[in-house]
Amino acid sequence: MPTLRKLKIGFVPYSPLGRGFLTGKIRSPDAFAEDDYRRTSPRFEGDNFSKNLQPVEQVRALAAEKGVTPGQLVLAWPLHQGNDWSRGGRALQRTGIRTLNH
């Protein structure tokens, strides 16, 4: 973020919830439906899943400390990096959903 601020470059986080992983709700690859593309994504396969779960646990703990959900914490982080560096004075969130269930 300091480099972005210095160069006056805006920040648009892509998939800020890590394809749902950073919400803390995904505890096992078995949580994915059979046709879910994440079943074949390297970050969600084998040892990678358990390694990637470690920082998620840290996010869950910090969110619990603050009395918010992990998803709320993750989405709030870019917005609390200051408003002096990005276009229009804010970080732009790029979140997407495919269905109302998401």
pLDDT at residue number 64:
96
Q: How far is CA 95 from CA 12, 27, 30, 43, in A?
A: 10, 21, 24, 19
pLDDT at residue number 69:
93
Strand partners, 94: 14
The answer to whether residues 84 and 5 touch, using CB atoms and an 8 Å cutoff, is yes
Q: Which two tokens stand for residue 13?
A: 């986080």
pTM of the model: 0.67
pLDDT exceeds cutoff 50 at 96: yes
Please enumerate in sequence order all residues whose Cβ is within 8 A of that of 90, keeping only pairs 6 or more positions apart, or say none: 79, 83
CA distance 68 to 8: 31
The structural domains of the chain, with segments of one domain joined by +, span 2-89
The answer to whether residues 12 and 4 touch, using CB atoms and an 8 Å cutoff, is no
Average pLDDT over residues 92-102: 51
pLDDT at residue number 58:
94
pLDDT at residue number 82:
65
Per-residue pLDDT tens over the stretch 49-88? 999 899 999 999 999 999 999 999 988 887 776 665 444 4
Q: Which two tokens stand for residue 88?
A: 């229009």
Per-residue pLDDT tens over the stretch 5-58? 788 777 777 777 888 888 888 888 888 899 998 888 998 888 999 998 999 999
Q: Which two tokens stand for residue 15?
A: 């998939």
